[in-house]
Amino acid sequence: MQKTMSKMTKTQMIATLAEANEVTKKEATAFLESIAELAYKEVKKNGECIVPGFGKLVKAKRKARDGRNPATGETIRIPAKTVVKFRLSKAAKEAIQ
């Protein structure tokens, strides 16, 4: 039987980063949150944010389309909206394989 691996939680990630960089968990949390905030602002302002060695967040527009309510089968109109997509970098893909 195959053992299921659990995903790393935010708390575990912060603890690992704090230990690896010899900083407090509070400092690691602040750093991680500032990276996320910077990425959000950059995508909103310029349409993309590159995180070197990791990938890039890209703002994309989705067209309006017809969908279906799974409970009733009724056709509904899904409005156009802006979404953020993530594209993994070549270096990250190679490191994972």
Residue at 2 is within a domain: no
Angle value at C-alpha 45, between 26 and 29, nearest 5 degrees: 5
> How does pLDDT run across 8-65, given as a tens digit for each residue?
999 999 999 999 999 999 999 999 999 999 999 999 999 999 999 899 999 999 999 9
Residue at 1 is within a domain: no
Angle value at C-alpha 11, between 17 and 6, nearest 5 degrees: 100
- What count of residues does the chain have? 97
Same domain, 79 and 53: yes
* Cα–Cα nearest to 83, from 62, 97, 64, 68: 62
Token code pair at residue 44: 């909103």
Q: What pLDDT score does 46 carry?
A: 94
Q: How many domains does the chain have?
A: 2
Q: What is the pTM of this model?
A: 0.71
Residue at 3 is within a domain: no
* Contact status, residue 88 vs residue 97, Cβ threshold 8 Å: no
Same domain, 38 and 73: no
